[in-house]
Amino acid sequence: MHDAGKVIIGLAIFVLLITFPIWFTLASGKAGHRPELELPKNETQCVESKEYMKAWHMDLLNDWRDAAVRDGKRMYVAEDGKKYVMSLSLTCLKCHTNKAKFCDECHNYVGVVPYCWDCHVDPKGD
Amino acid sequence: MNAVLSLVAVLALVGLAVLGVEAGGLYSLFGVIVPYIAIVLFLGGLIFRVLGWAKSPVPFRIPTTCGQQKSLPWIKSSKYDNPHTGFGVLVRMALEILFFRSLFRNTKTQIAEGDKVTYGPTKWLWMGAIAFHYSFLVIFIRHLRFFTEPIPFFVDLLQTVDGFMQVGVPVFYMTSLIFFGALGYLLLRRLAIPQVRYISLVNDYFPLFLLLGIATTGILLRHFVKTDVVGIKELTLGLLSFQPAITEGIHWLFYVHLFLVCTLLAYFPFSKLMHLIGVFMSPTRNLANNSRMVRHINPWNAPVKVHTYEEYEDDFRDKMVAAGLPVDKQPEPKPAQAEKE
């Protein structure tokens, strides 16, 4: 092999970079970490179904923001006919009282930084 | 024809994944076994190819030169386009790898005013290539959020910058659009320019369609299908820590995305995509043009047995002197012996 030293160093750097997720996660020791949500104690039903909320809550919140702030509409009729006030602070955060133990769990896990809290005060629980 | 064949191949791969997961329920095949095989093929194949290249000897300096060679001190030389030092080569390689300098120098031959041949600059291919490669890099790094726990700061930073426009929720990344646009341009260029279409092969179209498929499924998964990303990260972390476990409830489209990425990984070392490594190992780029300063001896020259004139004269000096032939080195006089006799 010609220029063996350079080629092997180059290959080693490449393999090290490509396997970054493996050794980084191994070093942090958090490979088994899973988000654990603290669910509201006084309520079992969210505005919409759990599956819908899991996938689409960001769109729902975005629609609520547009409807409330831009169109002045504040009443939301859910799929099951129940009516809710379109408000993050008054409706969502009434049950989900702790951002760190609910929102942040999944958001931090998958690296999502929503800009809700640019304006809203984040609830820190009781 | 080549383009259609490539498109059909990619669609077949998509169909295979959809069938396998939806009809066959082969989650552990598409979620665990195929990714492992793909990464082994990728790393193994890549190392194999690089070692193969490293075995080919490069006895002489063969850099492509694009400027005045270094010669006499009062003749100005191109330090980076015709480098004669290690540092010059380093700059040249950096310009090539980071800014695609040789592609930037691309020219277009045209016939102007009836019969005049003119050469003009053409930067479209360079622009498309830069846009494609850099957005691909950003997308690649962005995906680390699914592969690392905790997520390193630079991934978060990159996401913030990339989603700076805050269009929609989840935010639409600029690079998604640029990647898609650049890929589209690179594909249309092959299809629309007759000369380029003439030289385009299946293995030129296939990666383009494959990447378009990956981009399409990725954008669909982020903005329209919205599958369980927490579940996906659990799956990837399981794979990375060699304790694979399938998470329930992940949309089949994710497996299509994953299968296309696995195909790309497995295909990579055996395709033109190896220019990722090849660019570092191009002798026409990474050698200093110092042939005038350093003597490069062919390392595999067979040892030739030579008999120099000096040795010849040593062998026959006496006879040459006796015959009256001129010699370089006069025979040593043997005074002591001569006197005795």
So what's the pLDDT on residue B291?
A: 87
pTM: 0.89
Residues of A in contact with B152 (CB under 8 A): 24
Assign B335 a pLDDT band (cuts: 50, 70, 90): low
Residues of chain B in Cβ contact (below 8 Å) with chain A: 43, 46-47, 50-51, 54-58, 144-152, 155-156, 159-160, 166, 168-170, 226-230, 233-234, 237, 240-241, 243, 277, 280-281
pLDDT digits (tens, 9 = 90+) for B251-285: 999 999 999 999 999 999 999 999 999 999 999 99
Q: How many residues does chain A have?
A: 126
Location of structure tokens 């100005």: B76
Q: Does A17 touch chain B (CB under 8 A)?
A: no
In whole angstroms, give the CA distance from residue B281 to residue B219: 35
Assign B218 a pLDDT band (cuts: 50, 70, 90): very high
Assign B113 a pLDDT band (cuts: 50, 70, 90): confident
High-pLDDT (> 90) share of chain B, %: 74
The yes-or-no verdict on residue B340 having pLDDT over 70 is no
Question: Of the candidates B234, B225, B282, which has an alpha carbon nearest to the alpha carbon of residue B254?
Answer: B225
So what's the pLDDT on residue A4?
A: 87
Phi first, then psi: what are they for B146, rounded to 5°? -95, -5
Assign B341 a pLDDT band (cuts: 50, 70, 90): very low
The yes-or-no verdict on residue B332 having pLDDT over 70 is yes
Q: What sign has the CA pseudo-torsion A77, A81, A85, A90? A: negative
- Interface pTM, i.e. ipTM: 0.91
In whole angstroms, give the CA distance from residue B46 to residue B270: 8
For chain A, what are the domain ranges? 1-28, 49-126
pLDDT digits (tens, 9 = 90+) for B140-166: 999 999 999 899 999 999 999 999 998
Assign B334 a pLDDT band (cuts: 50, 70, 90): low
Averaged pLDDT, B312-330: 90
CB B263 within 8 A of CB B41: no
Least confident of A9-13, B40-44, B332-336: B332-336
Q: Which amino acid is at B49?
A: R
The yes-or-no verdict on residue B178 having pLDDT over 90 is yes
CB–CB contact B57 A61 (8 Å) = no
SS3 B112: strand
CB–CB contact B159 A111 (8 Å) = yes
Assign B214 a pLDDT band (cuts: 50, 70, 90): very high
| Tens place of pLDDT per residue across chain A (126 aa) | 788 899 999 999 999 999 999 999 989 888 888 899 989 988 888 999 998 998 899 999 999 999 999 999 999 999 889 999 999 988 998 899 888 899 999 999 999 988 888 888 887 765
CB–CB contact B148 A24 (8 Å) = yes
Domains and CATH numbers, chain B: 2-286 (1.20.950.20), 309-336 (no CATH)
Please give the C-alpha separations between residue B341 and each of B54, B317, B322, in angstroms, as whole numbers: 69, 22, 19
∠ CA A80-A86-A87, nearest 5°, is 130
Is pLDDT larger for residue B39 or for residue B60?
B39
In whole angstroms, give the CA distance from residue B261 to residue A16: 20
In whole angstroms, give the CA distance from residue B137 to residue B241: 24
CB–CB contact A20 B148 (8 Å) = yes
